Each structure stands twice: as structure tokens, then as C-alpha cells.
Amino acid sequence: MTVGASLYRLESIQHRYGERVVLDIDRLDVRRGETLAVIGPSGSGKSTLLRLLQFLERPTEGRLWFDSVAVDAEPPVDVRRRVTTVFQRPQVLSRSVHANLTYGLSVRGMPAHPAEIDRLLAALGLAHLAHAAAHTLSGGEVQRVAFGRALTFNPDVLLLDEPTANLDPRNVRLVEHLIRERQSQGVTIVLATHQIFQARRLAHRAALLLDGQIVEAAPTAELLDHPSDPRTRAFLTGDMIY
């Protein structure tokens, strides 16, 4: 894996819903090939940040750069297709698990190689559910389908919003194994999580987001073990009241 120049750059970003400021980021870079964990309490703006990175919304103010191009409008579909998100509350399509998994391939006009799909289904513990209707699955199974669906078409960027929130420890391990596989292939990953231990296990760098602002961004071990900002320390020790 190589961690190169910035793939995303956020400059003087402010994002508002009405009068409410939900993001206020002076500067944040996501480097090519890195895994950046965005940690912070619920409601701190993590999901909104991922929505901007997925081009679902444009910042109210400031500028977002993707691969050295300013994103002022909805990017062309071939640019959008380099990025995908596993949402915190993923939506499955009303079709089979297999059809959900191959959806991203079909919209790209790419063939679904049965052996690869079977391997992914097995890796996610979903092989026995391949032909089940996706809307009959449990929350954890839906989460794994959503995760697998994001991997089939080999995106350059994976945006993961609490990707293991509904999973038991065994399935957390399965998903984290697949994340590591993608890391080794050079995929850029932004992981929004409030699980500090997961950030430590997976991320090269971590950033604490609090009330829409980046408090501190540093290599994961440095941020978690030697935070420089008292708010980071308070968040990590559980002393922060929010």
C-alpha cells in the first residue's frame, strides 16, 4: 500500500442545514491509499462529512477537491463511480441478495463473475442466503450485504459509515478482514466510527470531529495515545459531556 498525495481536500468548508452549522472544517486532506478514521460522538457531523465526500451534497461554503478537481457541481458519472458508501442504515433493493451484490456491476455494464461473487458471499457468511429476498434479512445480514455490494466493483474510495454497527464480534472480524484486504489493494478508505478500538485496528490516521469541527487529526496511535488537544483526551477517556 502506498499513501500518496491528497485524493480529497476540504478547504474552508462550512455546511449548514438552514441556520444550523453542521460542518465547519478549515482544512482536511484524505490521502490516496490511506484509511482515515473520523471519530466523534453521535451528531458530530461524521455522516454529513461522508455525504459531502460521496457528492450527495455540495458544501454551503468552501471548496471540496477530488483528485485535484474542484467539485462545484455533481461530478460526471464516471467520477462518481470511483467512490461508494456503506451507509449507517443501508437500504437493500427489493430483490435477491445476489442481485443486490451485483447491482453496482450491472449499472457499470460490468459482468458478474460467479466465482468472485460466490467468494464474497462466503467471506461475508451469506452464501446460504444468496437467493433469499434481501428485505427478509436481519439488520446484521443487511449490513453485510451492503458491505459486499460496495466491494464487487472495486471502487477507488470506500466511505464506511459505522459499517459494523449492527454486527456481532464474529462478523465484525469478517468485515474488518475484508477492509484490510482492500487496504492492501490501495483503496482509500474513510471510516466514520465512534468505536475507538476499531479505529486503532484499521486506520492509518484518525481525526476527531466535534460539533462539526476537526479538533485534531494525526496518525491513529498518536491521536489515541498522546492526544494534543484536551477535548480529544476528554472524548477518549469518556469524560466529555455532549
Partner 1 sequence: MSQLLSEFRRPELLQIVALTLRVTGAALLLATLAGVPIGALLGLVRFRGQRVITLALYTGMGLPPVVVGLFVYLFLSRGGPLGPLGWLFTPAAMIVAQAIIAFPLVAGLTMSAVAGVDHAVREQVFALGASRWQSAWTVLIEARVGVTAAIVAAFGGTISEVGAVMLVGGNIEGQTRVLTTAIVLYTRQGEFAMAMALGVTLIAVAFGANVLLLRLQGRLRDR
Q: Of 76, 74, 19, 82, which Cα lies nearest the Cα of 52?
A: 74
Using the contact rule CB under 8 A, the part of the chain among 10-18, 91-99, 120-128, 196-204 near partner 1 is 91-99
Angle between helices 169-184 and 114-123 (to 10 degrees): 130
Q: Is 163 in the site for partner 1 (CB under 8 A)?
A: no
- Count of CB atoms situated within 10 Å of the CB of 4: 11
Q: How far is the CB of 27 from partner 1 (least distance, A)?
A: 25
Q: Measured from the CB atom, is 59 or 104 closer to partner 1?
A: 104
> Read out DSSP for 38-62?
EE--TTSSHHHHHHHHTTSS--SEE
Q: Measured from the CB atom, is 19 or 78 closer to partner 1?
A: 78
Q: Is 149 in the site for partner 1 (CB under 8 A)?
A: yes
Q: Is 185 in the site for partner 1 (CB under 8 A)?
A: no
Using the contact rule CB under 8 A, the part of the chain among 59-67, 83-91, 183-191, 217-225 near partner 1 is 83-91
Q: Is 5 in the site for partner 1 (CB under 8 A)?
A: no
Q: Is 139 in the site for partner 1 (CB under 8 A)?
A: no
Q: Is 111 in the site for partner 1 (CB under 8 A)?
A: no
Are the beta carbons of 97 and 118 closer than 8 angstroms? no
Q: Measured from the CB atom, is 3 or 110 closer to partner 1?
A: 110
Q: Measured from the CB atom, is 81 or 204 closer to partner 1?
A: 81
- Count of CB atoms situated within 10 Å of the CB of 40: 24
Q: Considering only residues 35, 44, 47, 84, which one is a binding residue for partner 1 as defined by CB under 8 A?
A: 84
Using the contact rule CB under 8 A, the part of the chain among 7-15, 79-87, 121-129, 219-227 near partner 1 is 79-87
Angle between helices 139-151 and 114-123 (to 10 degrees): 140
Q: Determine how β-strand 205-210 pairs with β-strand 213-219.
A: antiparallel
Residue with cell 446460504: 128
Q: How far is the CB of 124 from partner 1 (least distance, A)?
A: 17
Q: How far is the CB of 77 from partner 1 (least distance, A)?
A: 5
Strand (E) or helix (H) holding 167: none
Q: How far is the CB of 149 from partner 1 (least distance, A)?
A: 7
Q: Is 33 in the site for partner 1 (CB under 8 A)?
A: no
> Read out DSSP for 104-138?
HHHHTT----HHHHHHHHHHTT-GGGTTSBGGGS-
**How far is 23 from 115, CA to CA, in rounded Å?**
43
Residues that bind partner 1 in the complex, under the rule CB under 8 A: 54, 56, 77, 80-81, 83-85, 87, 89-91, 93-96, 103-104, 107-108, 133, 149-150, 153, 159
